[in-house]
Structure 1
């Protein structure tokens, strides 16, 4: 597919999703990435099931003339990097390198630096409990007519986000075979 066309990414993603629809239960795709996950079932080990899944996926790719770059393939790993996170059988956690960058971020001195910090922090916000409420003092500095004043409340918010990410939990993947509850928090100025 030609690169640079306005709708090329969406068209490509739609095409790959359609071609791989028969394996989406164990091999979901995101643009040109395919993630195969397997677990032991019917007396077979997780490795045996994984090999079967790989055979099905690779057969389907061969049939539709889709090619894999072997240098980018990760096979049989217990944890893989996906979109800035590490995903494994125990759940999802933030990429330690991204957490390190945030934890070492120097105190902010202007709106541009604040936007850069919040851009990365917000990408990982699912790991910080009550993130939206914690960043409220920082968000106030982004308002159109706001004067830049880095006060103690801003520093506390900045430190709370950094602390929250360095102590980030592993987010468990929901077991679809068991009941689970979703708990959501909301207030007058934040959700999440």
Structure 2
């Protein structure tokens, strides 16, 4: 048993459940992502975000399961009566229970312990009325099911025109990069070792859907993380680092995907990477990119352009079936026209 300090200064008791997890079977329940709900919030104008207080503790353990969580302390042996953090089935079990408790609530979405309530309408006034009605139904359900909410966080994200949610900023105009994550990158000092580069690339990759041609801009830094590479922070890496920090502050607002509108996949390939962009009505829905392997870099340009299309179709497969693909490589177009 160890204790860690929570952001509010209170202690959190943690156990090491790794030996137990080896014997546990995880539930087969899909965990939703932010991309799953974005099409549904495309017409939302008012948002509220709240989280469940001590989320896992809402799930009471059976006597048999409780016995399995027994742990030793200097004061004797104890066991959990409620589901603790760290056991492998916990995320799926909690997600399923919470979604069951809140099912059929209008414009209410659940990802882990973060709950989003939205309001829609042609005007802001209509959206606020719709939101307030949905929020009232949600709170009544929470009272009925004895779901405890974090009141402090609810006050900060109540009835807003834009709210941070799962690492993104939801607004009435579209999806924005979370300013806190952007600020963390722009204030980051130049890395002094490989671990620092890996941390930087990982932070930027979290915002990859907003960043066009991210793979190409990251290439000078990524080279430093290769197995046999020697550490050298030259002007090339410094320029790439500054360029990334500058461009991350200029990423566009992404349009919410609409199933009713025509969608286009734009693909391109460079000497070092592949890029793809989903657009609707000329506005970006999402970007994606990746570096080419050493073998792929030896491909002819026409093969790279075709590979970019394959990459884009696979990356955005849930959107791209039966859709239009755009490529700026004329020879590739001629090949596809041949019988």
TM band (smaller chain)? 0.7 to 0.9
How far apart, in 2, do the equivalents of 1:90 and 1:121 lie?
Answer: 23
Deviation of residue 34 (structure 1)?
0.7
Partner of 2:153: 72
TM (norm. structure 1) is 0.86
Where in structure 2 are the equivalents of 1:18-33 lying within 5 Å?
18-23=100-105, 26-33=107-114
Q: CA deviation at 1:130?
A: 0.9
1:23-62 aligned at under 5 Å gives the runs 23=105, 26-40=107-121, 45-62=126-143
User: Which residue does 1:12 correspond to in 2?
Assistant: 94
1:111 corresponds in structure 2 to 194
SS at match of 1:141: helix
In structure 1, the residue corresponding to 2:232 is in which secondary structure? coil
Task: Say if 1:127 and 1:164, in contact at 8 Å, map to a contact too.
Answer: no
Instruction: Kindly state the Cα deviation for residue 93 of structure 1 after the two structures are TM-superposed.
Output: 1.6
Per-residue CA deviations over 1:114-155 (Å, capped at 9, x if unaligned) read 112112111122221111221122112111111112233322
Query: What is the alpha-carbon distance in structure 2 between the residues aligned to residue 183 and residue 26 of structure 1?
Result: 32
Distance 1:90 1:161 in 2: 25
**Runs of at least 4 residues off by over 4 Å:** 184-188
User: Of 196, 200, 205, which aligns to 1:122?
Assistant: 205
- 1:149 alignment partner in structure 2: 232
In 1, the alpha carbon distance for the partners of 2:167 and 2:148 equals 24
| Structure 1 range deviating more: 135-144 or 97-106 | 97-106
CA 1:16 to 1:183, structure 2 compared with 1: closer, same or farther past 3 Å? farther
From the CA coordinates, give the structure whose radius of gyration is larger. 2
TM-score (norm: length of structure 2): 0.51
CA distance in 2, matches of 1:107, 1:60: 49
Q: Structure 1 stretches of 5 or more lacking a match?
A: none
Selected match of 1:178 from 261, 279, 292: 261
What's the Cα RMSD here? Answer: 2.3
Q: Distance in 2 between matches of 1:93 and 1:47?
A: 21
Give per-residue Cα distances to partners, 1:36-55, cap 9 Å, x unaligned.
111116xx811111112112
Count how many residue pairs are aligned between Structure 1 and Structure 2: 190
Are the equivalent residues in 2 in contact too, given 1:129–1:164 (CA < 8 A)?
Answer: no
Q: 1:13 is paired with a residue of what secondary structure?
A: helix
Are the structure 2 counterparts of residues 152 and 190 from structure 1 closer, same or farther at C-alpha, using a change threshold of 3 Å? farther
Q: Secondary structure at the match of 1:34?
A: strand
Quote the offset at 1:176 in angstroms. Answer: 4.2
Deviations 1:5-62 (A, max 9, x none): 2221221112212332313x61111111110111116xx8111111121122223323
